[in-house]
């Protein structure tokens, strides 16, 4: 039972490069979320999805795009990476009446 | 403005001792409050969740309390262990068409032998 799996775990990008972070969950959860965590701050919501084929903006969506083509996967894309996007990214999922489960995080550095 | 504040920012205690972490929030309308434990380099893991009508919830050596009138919560850790060293995050949800949440900045706890 893998739970929530994020890939990759670490990545270094050059400014202007693009990349996609993958989140996969095997719990048949409806809701999926992407957060970023920065030192001294609480996790902040980037984008979220309340079901397959639907996405919505969170608190800090600029510079990111997402897609939920399959219920079990939630992809986070960086169109043109900037140093301000250096952060640890967490994916989470939950069912309608369950607690949220988090992935292990992706540490991204943009140089 | 909806906010979640936690205190202290960091705490060091001796193994075996008890400690209490605080969370104050201004979220309205309130839905529920959760405490998470986040080990270094890992994702947060849920410890407790409390709704408006619950004022205490236990999970092993962790006991959370909630005072919805004063909008305060505490997490009490009994007989601390080295493995309790982690960041403890208070998360408050408010009621909308789906539950939106605000994460507190966390309290970093270090348990030393």
Is the confidence at residue B97, as pLDDT, over 60?
A: no
- b/e map B20-29, b = 16+ CB within 10 Å: ebebbbebee
Across the interface, do A42 and B4 touch by the CB < 8 Å criterion?
Answer: yes
Average pLDDT score over residue span A27-51? 93
Per-residue confidence (pLDDT) for residue A1, from 0 to 100: 57
pLDDT band with cut points at 50, 70 and 90 for residue A41: confident
- Chain A closest CA to B107's CA: distance in Å? 10
Per-residue confidence (pLDDT) for residue B81, from 0 to 100: 97
What is the rounded distance in angstroms from the CA atom of residue A34 to the CA atom of residue A56? 11
Is the confidence at residue B15, as pLDDT, over 90?
A: yes
Question: Strand ranges (DSSP E) for A1-111?
Answer: 4-7, 10-13, 19-25, 31-37, 44-51, 54-57, 64-67, 73-78, 87-94, 101-102, 106-110
Per-residue confidence (pLDDT) for residue A56, from 0 to 100: 92
- Chain B closest CA to A24's CA: distance in Å? 14
Per-residue confidence (pLDDT) for residue B2, from 0 to 100: 81
Per-residue confidence (pLDDT) for residue A61, from 0 to 100: 96
Per-residue confidence (pLDDT) for residue B20, from 0 to 100: 98
Cα torsion for A13, A81, B104, A91, to the nearest 10°?
Answer: -70
Per-residue confidence (pLDDT) for residue B29, from 0 to 100: 85
Per-residue confidence (pLDDT) for residue A111, from 0 to 100: 97
Which residue in chain B has the smallest CA separation from A48? B100
C-alpha distances (whole Å) from B113 to each of B16, B79, B95, B108 are 9, 12, 42, 17
Residue pair B50/B68 in contact (Cβ under 8 Å)? The answer is no
Looking at per-residue pLDDT, the higher value among A62 and A2 belongs to A62
Is the confidence at residue A20, as pLDDT, over 60?
A: yes
Is the confidence at residue A77, as pLDDT, over 60?
A: yes
Is the confidence at residue B98, as pLDDT, over 80?
A: no
Per-residue confidence (pLDDT) for residue A95, from 0 to 100: 87
pLDDT band with cut points at 50, 70 and 90 for residue B101: confident
pLDDT band with cut points at 50, 70 and 90 for residue A96: confident
Across the interface, do B105 and A43 touch by the CB < 8 Å criterion?
Answer: no
Per-residue confidence (pLDDT) for residue A97, from 0 to 100: 75
Average pLDDT score over residue span B29-45? 92
Residue pair A104/A9 in contact (Cβ under 8 Å)? The answer is yes
Chain position carrying tokens 């998470």: B36
Average pLDDT score over residue span A32-54? 92
Which residues in chain B are contacts of A45 at CB distance < 8 A?
A: 101
Is the confidence at residue B71, as pLDDT, over 90?
A: yes
């Amino acid at each position: 039972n893998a739970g929530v799996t994020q890939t990759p775990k670490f990545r270094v990008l050059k400014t202007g490069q693009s990349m996609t972070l993958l989140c996969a969950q095997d719990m048949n959860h409806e809701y999926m979320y992407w957060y970023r965590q920065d030192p001294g701050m609480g996790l902040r919501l980037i984008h979220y999805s309340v079901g397959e084929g639907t996405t919505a903006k969170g608190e800090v969506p600029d510079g990111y795009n997402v897609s939920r083509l399959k219920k079990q996967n939630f992809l986070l894309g960086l169109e043109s990476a900037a140093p301000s996007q250096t952060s640890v990214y967490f994916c989470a999922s939950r069912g309608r009446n369950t607690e949220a489960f988090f992935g292990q995080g992706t540490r991204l550095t943009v140089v | 403005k909806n906010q979640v504040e936690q205190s202290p920012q960091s705490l060091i205690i001796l193994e075996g001792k008890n400690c209490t972490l605080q969370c104050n929030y201004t979220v309205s309308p309130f839905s529920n409050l959760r405490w998470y434990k986040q080990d270094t380099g890992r994702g947060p893991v849920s410890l407790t969740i409390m709704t408006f009508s619950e004022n205490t919830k236990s999970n092993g050596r962790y006991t959370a309390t909630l005072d919805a009138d004063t909008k305060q919560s505490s997490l009490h850790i009994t007989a601390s262990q080295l493995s309790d060293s982690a960041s403890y995050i208070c998360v408050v949800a408010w009621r909308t068409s789906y539950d939106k949440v605000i994460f507190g900045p966390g309290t970093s706890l270090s348990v030393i032998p």
